[in-house]
Chains A and B, each alone.
Chain A
Amino acid sequence: EAEVAQSPRYKITEKSQAVAFWCDPISGHATLYWYRQILGQGPELLVQFQDESVVDDSQLPKDRFSAERLKGVDSTLKIQPAELGDSAMYLCASSFPGQASEQYFGPGTRLTVT
């Protein structure tokens, strides 16, 4: 069964360092989402791509976060510099266009900033 792949699964970094997460969506899914899930809270959308274009990044802290999906397939989310408050689970999901209700989630990357 096709799955959304994410790496790494766990990342520990010191504050002020740069960190990057990678996501490979299910083949054929043109829509890709990055969410942040703080412990005890629900996922919060950071950025949504349609192919290689960003369609919603209203909740992305653009002073330190960036996301790209250059070829419209896999995607990278970067944080530079990392802050203590960035410790969270970062989830990637994908879906067919117009099928946001059928999002498939990856296992996530748990980030700890020390």
Chain B
Amino acid sequence: GIQVEQSPPDLILQEGANSTLRCNFSDSVNNLQWFHQNPWGQLINLFYIPSGTKQNGRLSATTVATERYSLLYISSSQTTDSGVYFCAVPSTGFQKLVFGTGTRLLVSP
């Protein structure tokens, strides 16, 4: 099945810093989502981005499907950005999402 790798696995930032998170996938996909899992365990939808670039406030995402990667940009990070960031792509075998390995982000004041 499709493999989804994320980098870096861990990231520590000072408040106000910018960061780029990467998601690589092993097969071509026509859908991709980014999620933020907050410290309470909730999975928050960030972007549904099969291709191109989207922006939402301090966050933006770019997917280059032909090169099998997606990037999530966080600008002017805040402590509330802490948590784990996942990308997820379809697995046609079970009609489910395959989640990446995650990037654990800690933003310190």
| A and B part of one assembly | no
